[in-house]
A and B are shown apart, each in its own frame.
Chain A
């Protein structure tokens, strides 16, 4: 079945450094790739998304890149801040459905 792999599972960075989280997906028909931030005990919040007709998208300190050939997409956070600390999930759409398959999550810790 469809699968999304996410790495690393944990990531610790110093405030001000960049953080990169990578995901690969198995369904070549996937065309929508959102990223969610989830703080402890709270709901996932969409932080950025990208569609398959675009290779890169940026929103202030956050950017996402997509390589359709390699079935790989990445989240880049620059100038990290302690409030960026959370669990981040990537997701990929399933062909011809509204459904999303989520990655396993990355726990990001930003140390002051």
Chain B
């Protein structure tokens, strides 16, 4: 099946630094990618929709200047957590919708720990 690769899988950073997470569709093109945040033992909360070649659309309550999203190509979207704080520590998961089938595939997730 189609593969979505997310990198890094784990990252630890100091408070105040910025962290970039990449989401790649390896064998299919995705005009739309989604970024989710998942706290321990909780559901996936949609943060934003990443559209290739245009600005991302953010869900209510998600700060666009805090969580910068870039979807520069049909196979890559990046999420940058700027000036990270301990409360940003979470599991971030991306998903990509295949252009040809419309099916949604998830990345393996990135666990961010901010000290």
Interface residues of A, Cβ cutoff 8 Å to B: 1, 34, 36, 41-46, 89, 97-105, 107
B104 lies within 8 A of chain A by Cβ: yes
A99 & B49 in contact (Cβ 8 Å cutoff) = yes
The verdict on A99 contacting B34 (CB below 8 Å), with A43-B106, A45-B106 known, is yes
In the bound complex, residues from chain A placing their C-beta under 8 Å from that of B108 are 42-43
23 pairs, CB–CB < 8 Å, chain A vs chain B: A1-B60, A34-B104, A36-B106, A41-B109, A42-B108, A43-B4, A43-B93, A43-B107, A43-B108, A44-B44, A46-B104, A98-B32, A99-B34, A99-B46, A99-B49, A102-B44, A102-B46, A103-B43, A104-B42, A104-B43, A105-B41, A105-B42, A107-B41
- Which interface class (under 10, 10 to 19, 20 to 34, 35 or more) fits B? 20 to 34
